[in-house]
Amino acid sequence: MSNIEARATLVNQKLKFEGKAADHPSIIIDYIPPLGDGEGYMPLQLLLISLASCSGSTVVTLLRKMGKEVSGLEVTASGERRDEHPLGFKTISLDFNVQSSDIDETCIQRAIQLSEQTYCPVWAMLKNNVVINTTYSIK
């Protein structure tokens, strides 16, 4: 799939949008008061979910390619915003919490490094514009 399309449609008189792609259930988007009514995801939260799931997918895929068993993975993305416009993220902290019986520090470090350098598309599109720091834990 080389082309991907999505749409956001304004649905009230403030800043509430309905987001949609393919045949997936709509995502409600809104801003916190006073700009919006806080009734949906903020666009920056969606960006963090996009990055967390994209990097999580590449990390789990790489670990499996190393022959490792991954029984669980939780990726937390935490962004610190700039003080001036544009109010995007200065830094994002990505924490990979992996559950596995046979993964050691070298494996997870290598999987995170390859995701950052080569395989995670969302990470690549933010690179140089946002500082992305990583941490991990193995359970």
Q: Which of residues 35-74 bind a second copy (CB under 8 A)?
A: 35, 40-54, 56-57, 60-61, 70, 72-74
β-pairing verdict for 89-99 and 131-138: parallel
Q: Helix, strand or coil for residue 136?
A: strand
Nearer to a second copy, 84 or 105 (CB): 84
Nearer to a second copy, 51 or 108 (CB): 51
- Rounded to the nearest angstrom, the gap between the alpha carbon of residue 31 and the centroid of all alpha carbons in its chain is 19
Q: DSSP letters of 17-83?
A: EEEE-TTSPPEEE---TTTS-S-SB-HHHHHHHHHHHHHHHHHHHHHHHTT----EEEEEEEEEE-S
Q: Does 5 bind a second copy (CB under 8 A)?
A: yes
Residues 11 to 40: which contact a second copy by CB under 8 A?
15, 17, 19-22, 24, 27-29, 31-32, 35, 40
Torsion over CA: 29, 8, 119, 54 (sign): positive
Q: Helix, strand or coil for residue 81?
A: strand
Nearer to a second copy, 1 or 105 (CB): 1
Shortest reach from residue 20's CB to a second copy, in Å: 8
Residues 95 to 134: which contact a second copy by CB under 8 A?
118-130
Shortest reach from residue 71's CB to a second copy, in Å: 9
In this structure, the dihedral spanned by the alpha carbons of residues 105, 98, 119 and 109, taken in order and rounded to 10 degrees, is -10
Among 75, 108, 111, 112, binds a second copy (CB under 8 A): 75
Give the number of residues in contact with a second copy, rule: CB under 8 A: 73
Shortest reach from residue 135's CB to a second copy, in Å: 14
